[in-house]
A and B are shown apart, each in its own frame.
Chain A
Amino acid sequence: TQLLEQSPQFLSIQEGENLTVYCNSSSVFSSLQWYRQEPGEGPVLLVTVVTGGEVKKLKRLTFQFGDARKDSSLHITAAQPGDTGLYLCAGKAETGGFKTIFGAGTRLFVKA
């Protein structure tokens, strides 16, 4: 069974602080995606990483895929209240297929 473990589960920080959330697995994934979900809505894709060691930047967000394609991190610089939400990582197994596995998420709260 492929699992994605996210940490921390909950994070409450002040506006302007930096933070990193992690997504780890013992399995190899062909790609990993990061989503953000707000209450009452479905997840919205932020980024997809496919190559081991890949780093992608989206404004103040930096995403990294581990060299072995088993883990990923999301770093937010100078967090803002608008960053508040549930951050989910998701992956497709290297063995193929179309099944997407989601982690349980990191709930981020940024205080003004």
Chain B
Amino acid sequence: GAGVSQTPSNKVTEKGKYVELRCDPISGHTALYWYRQSLGQGPEFLIYFQGTGAADDSGLPNDRFFAVRPEGSVSTLKIQRTERGDSAVYLCASSLMASGISNEQFFGPGTRLTVL
């Protein structure tokens, strides 16, 4: 079965540009998470979706970051006016459900974003 897929795998952009990163979760998974992983660090939580709604967006660093999941499946992370400090690997994960303290998150391979 297909796992979580993310596109593109690599994205190079210039400072100030707008980028969109896409995540296709495992079919049937209702919960979807976005993380950002900088070099030498663990993943940093950005936002969590339950179905179509963002249940927790407390990790989004500022209003340049926005994410949507309009049909409760595919999600897009949008970054406006990119800055060099946004360079990182953006990871997406999905889980069957979010309730319960031990739900397993399945991660995609990530999108490596480089802002020049």
Q: Which residues of A contact B (CB under 8 A)?
A: 4, 6, 30-31, 33, 40-45, 48, 50, 88, 90, 92, 97-105
For B104, the chain A residues whose CB sits under 8 A away are 45, 48
Contact of A44 among B98, B101, B107 (CB under 8 A): B107
* A98 with B55, Cβ < 8 A, contacts A42-B107, A42-B109 known: yes
**Contact B109–A41 (Cβ < 8 Å):** yes
Number of CB contacts from chain A to chain B under 8 A: 62
Contact of A104 among B42, B91, B110 (CB under 8 A): B42
**Contact B107–A97 (Cβ < 8 Å):** no
For B43, the chain A residues whose CB sits under 8 A away are 43, 88, 90, 102
**Contact A42–B110 (Cβ < 8 Å):** yes
For B50, the chain A residues whose CB sits under 8 A away are 98
Q: Would you give 11 A-B contacts (Cβ < 8 Å), ordered by A?
A: A4-B42, A6-B42, A41-B109, A42-B93, A48-B104, A90-B42, A90-B43, A98-B56, A102-B35, A102-B43, A104-B42
Q: Which of B29-45 contact A (CB under 8 A)?
A: 31, 33, 35, 40-45
* A98 with B98, Cβ < 8 A, contacts A42-B91, A42-B108 known: yes
Cβ of B13 to closest chain A Cβ, rounded Å: 20
Does B59 sit at the interface, judged by CB under 8 A?
Answer: yes
- A98 vs B98: C-alpha distance in the bound complex, in angstroms? 7
Does B105 sit at the interface, judged by CB under 8 A?
Answer: yes
**Contact A104–B56 (Cβ < 8 Å):** no
**Contact A102–B42 (Cβ < 8 Å):** yes
For A97, the chain B residues whose CB sits under 8 A away are 56
For A99, the chain B residues whose CB sits under 8 A away are 45, 48, 56, 58-59
